[in-house]
Amino acid sequence: MSEDIVKIKGTSLGLQLSFAPEASFEDVRENLRKKLESGTTFFLRGTLVLIPRDVFMGSERDELQRLFHEYGLICRTLKPDPKPEEKKALKSEETAAKEVSAESQHEELKPQEMVVINRTLRGGQEIRTKSSVLVCGNVNPGAQIIAGGSIDIRGTCRGLVHAGAYGDSTAFIVADHLMPTQIRISNLIARSPDEMEKTDRAERASIKDGQIVIEPIERQDKAI
């Protein structure tokens, strides 16, 4: 049964995990630890891992999140699919929410604040903010930036960078040398090739035609 204790499914958001109904929490935890220690290609550093919310208690979910964090992964819980009657109620709520959003859209377009980091981010360090981020230094492998706005790195980016993390598809990522383990903009995800060479020009990642596109740019005097 050990091979079926944890099942892995790739999605547009990341890796979605499901567990055998008869498996105990201890079985799941040890099976996951073995997979992480084996260096399986599923669990690349910086990858988002989704676990079901309704399988284990809160303290057990927290323990799994810490386990993934040890290996440089991001772990989040996934809500169960709603029942048919709940879906109908959700649609009504979504319609009402869209009407409210249309009325308050001008308020949401206020200029965002910026978080400025005057140092290199090393492996294991994380910056999480609803604002934009300017890093005057490098972003090393294992480091993470999760920003509600855009991200500007005045150095080499080799970590995980997620711009527009709260749904802003107009956000972008700029770096002097863009060589990340993973790029995310809004709900889209892209991973760098295994081998990349530095370029002489800065690069910008943004969403075009429904996908993340990376292109060279000329640096301006001002940051984002």
Asked if the model's pLDDT at residue 13 lies above 90, the reply is no
Pick the range with the lowest mean pLDDT from 69-73, 88-92, 177-181: 88-92
At 106 the pLDDT is 42
Same structural domain for residues 121 and 209?
Answer: yes
**What is the CA angle 103-104-106, rounded to 5?**
110
> Could you tell me which residues are beta bridge partners of residue 50?
16, 76
Asked if the model's pLDDT at residue 105 lies above 50, the reply is no
Same structural domain for residues 126 and 188?
Answer: yes
Quickly state the pLDDT bin for 110 (edges 50, 70, 90).
very low
H or E stretch including 87? helix 84-108
Query: In a 3-state reduction of DSSP, which class is residue 175?
Result: strand
CATH number at residue 48: 3.30.750
- Whose tokens are 């910026």? That residue is 114
At 107 the pLDDT is 41
H or E stretch including 205? strand 202-208
Same structural domain for residues 145 and 209?
Answer: yes
Same structural domain for residues 69 and 159?
Answer: no
Same structural domain for residues 59 and 130?
Answer: no
Residue 222, by phi and psi: left (phi above 0), alpha (psi -120 to 50) or beta? beta
Residue 85 in any domain: the answer is: no
State the residue range of the domain holding 162: 114-217
